Structure 1
Amino acid sequence: MVEFKCPGHNQDPIPEEALKEAGVTFPNAYTDKNEIAALATVLKKYRDDVFTRVPFCVTVEAEAFGAQIKMGDAWHRPRPHGRRFSSIEDLSGIQTPDISEGRMGEVLDAVAILAESGEKVILNIVGPFTILYSLINFTFFYNGLRKNPAQVREIMAVIEKSVIQYGMEGVKRGASIISYEDAVGVPDVTGPEIYQDFSGPSSLRIINGIKEAGGTFLIHLCGRTSAALENTGMVRSYTIKAGKALTYDQALERLLDKLTQPIVVGHKCIAWGSMKMDQSLIWGIKLN
């Protein structure tokens, strides 16, 4: 049994000094490619990271599907503001969004700006249950899932297709790491049966789909996501020696330099980048 204690999302306020140095304002820092890139560059320095990281919230994909998002500011990250859909029947009409439009497009453009300037970029993406959480009250969602599972599978297929496209395009634009999480879709939230039948297999399809982008990049799974997959027998983990890396970011950077094909890693938090490692080990994830 793999155990992973989630440290929680880094929701600390963005330092005022960082905002001034980046020259950004809100909500543009969440919606404009140039300001996203500028803030990511400055935050990398303030956090003593190796990588720049975009976007700064987990609502970009949901907004592309029509979620009502309150943009926020330096103190509060973008978050759902009500739920657009009130039933599975309403939700079943969603279409795969154009990833070149809206905030998805701005984030992808920011990835390209950063990569072209020599930055090593992490693109953070989320899975279907996290997206659905911003679209529909989960009481309605679970009721619909029990009554019409086939309809839910159709909805999730549309979302999966979009997430795969988003991740693959991120790689094409120059992202070194695709960081994937579906924290709302883990068994202690969904229950073991829904996880086994819906959430877990959905994450596997997305991971496999993004790997098809080719090249040399990492898919980094949230520790909760990777632990859930291994504990249900969907993946297996193995250790990768990181050499004399001092921090987790440095270990990932060294691994990237050695890659000849995309690989998946997990069982750690991508937010641990600047933390010193007790053991210089990375956990590789092999999909069954």
Structure 2
Amino acid sequence: MGEIKDFNCTYDNSAGINGEVTEGLGLTFPDAYLHADTMAKLSRALKEHDGAAFCELPFCHTVEAEAMGGLVNYGNDKTGPRAKEYICTKPEELLELQPIDFSKGRIHEVLQACRMLREQGEHVVLQVSGPFTILNVLIDARYVFKAMRKQPEVMKEVFWKLGNEVLRFMEEAKKYGVDLISYADSSGGVNILGPKMAEQVVEDFTYEFLKQVEGLADEHTMILLCPKTTFALLGTGHGKLKDHLTETGIRYGEACIRMTGKAKFAGQMCIKNVGYELENGIFKELVLI
């Protein structure tokens, strides 16, 4: 067993919207975060402003938790939606939360926006959150860490309850044409959990969960991993990197699009780092082992 390295993330849960972009769009906030057509319009404007190869949705890390009953402050034109107040105080309550209904609410609007963008010929990165990020909206982190120490089996159930909802979200996303599904859980990084707990989460949840997610990758879909997740898999011996030569000067997002159908998992850089160029044109596929 190796050591889990940390990835120094400068994009941790970044949910802000660039003011320069929102100014000329004639959108009303936070209303624009709630409807598919305005989400698509904003996502496309952000893509053009950043010079990215893809559109990204949603603009926050609260969609899944809200769809399970969480309370969200929708923010404004500067800050995207964020957690409002917690609805749970003990892990057992998390197990009672409603399953996600993908036919209604903001999560449905996100999926519809993805479809609109795909129909307009755009590549779409759907940002999907992992358990710790979802828990941040539902329950105070103090109760999570206490339960991980004193009720590890209950927390394992919680991870899988949330993980199964995330898996369903990914499956739905494919039906709406999403070609790049980004999975991140920076709130559960080794810098927060510590080495021992981070390793336990990989063994109890992350590895087996991603084995299931792997089945969603095909000629039309790639799974993008946050580098924190990549390092957790490498450090626990559950992953290895496989090099693919693309071309010198290609940016990471463009390489992911090009490698769709040839690699199942990407994970060498944060997809939000839109200007990152592959070193020597080498795309590193994460292979589960």
User: How do 1:15-30 residues align onto structure 2 when only pairs under 5 Å count?
Assistant: 15-16=19-20, 18-30=21-33
CA contact (8 A) 1:24 1:38 kept: no
Among 186, 190, 202, the residue aligned to 2:189: 186
Q: Tell me how far 1:151 sits from its aligned partner.
A: 2.1
Whole-Å separation in 1 of the counterparts to 2:153 and 2:16: 40
Among 212, 219, 222, the residue aligned to 1:218: 222
Say whether residues 1:117 and 2:120 are aligned partners.
Answer: yes
Q: What SS does the corresponding residue of 1:95 show, helix, strand or coil?
A: coil
AA partner of residue 220 (structure 1) = L
Task: Tell me which residue corresponds to 2:248.
Answer: 244
Judged with a 3 Å threshold, the aligned counterparts in structure 2 of structure 1 residues 157 and 3 are, in CA distance, closer, same or farther, namely closer
CA contact (8 A) 1:227 1:267 kept: no
Task: Tell me which residue corresponds to 1:265.
Answer: 266
Among 78, 83, 88, the residue aligned to 1:85: 88
CA contact (8 A) 1:236 1:287 kept: yes
Q: What SS does the corresponding residue of 2:128 show, helix, strand or coil?
A: strand
AA partner of residue 264 (structure 1) = F
Task: Tell me which residue corresponds to 1:279.
Answer: 280
Percent identity of equivalent pairs: 29
CA deviation profile, 1:43-92 (whole Å, cap 9, x unmatched)? 11111011011011111111112222111112112111221111123223
Task: Tell me which residue corresponds to 1:107.
Answer: 110
Judged with a 3 Å threshold, the aligned counterparts in structure 2 of structure 1 residues 20 and 138 are, in CA distance, closer, same or farther, namely closer
User: How do 1:33-112 residues align onto structure 2 when only pairs under 5 Å count?
Assistant: 33-112=36-115
CA deviation profile, 1:13-70 (whole Å, cap 9, x unmatched)? 4234x32444322112221111111111111111101101101111111111222211
CA contact (8 A) 2:90 2:143 kept: yes
Whole-Å separation in 2 of the counterparts to 1:280 and 1:62: 38
Q: How many residues align?
A: 284
Whole-Å separation in 2 of the counterparts to 1:238 and 1:58: 30
Whole-Å separation in 2 of the counterparts to 1:173 and 1:207: 21
Whole-Å separation in 2 of the counterparts to 1:131 and 1:196: 19
Among 135, 138, 142, the residue aligned to 2:138: 135
- How big is the alpha-carbon RMSD for the aligned residues of Structure 1 and Structure 2? 2.1
Judged with a 3 Å threshold, the aligned counterparts in structure 2 of structure 1 residues 276 and 91 are, in CA distance, closer, same or farther, namely closer
Judged with a 3 Å threshold, the aligned counterparts in structure 2 of structure 1 residues 124 and 24 are, in CA distance, closer, same or farther, namely same
Range that drifts further, 275-284 or 36-45: 275-284
Q: Tell me how far 1:113 sits from its aligned partner.
A: 0.9
Range that drifts further, 196-205 or 127-136: 196-205
Task: Tell me which residue corresponds to 1:164.
Answer: 167
Whole-Å separation in 1 of the counterparts to 2:174 and 2:207: 18
Whole-Å separation in 1 of the counterparts to 2:212 and 2:96: 23
Q: TM-score, normalization: structure 2?
A: 0.90
Q: What SS does the corresponding residue of 2:248 show, helix, strand or coil?
A: coil
Task: Tell me which residue corresponds to 1:233.
Answer: 237
Q: What SS does the corresponding residue of 1:66 show, helix, strand or coil?
A: coil
Extract unaligned runs of 5+ from structure 1: none
CA deviation profile, 1:133-158 (whole Å, cap 9, x unmatched)? 22111211222233322222222221
CA deviation profile, 1:164-190 (whole Å, cap 9, x unmatched)? 011121122111111111111122212
AA partner of residue 128 (structure 2) = I
Q: TM-score, normalization: structure 1?
A: 0.90
Whole-Å separation in 1 of the counterparts to 2:89 and 2:273: 37
Among 157, 174, 178, the residue aligned to 1:175: 178
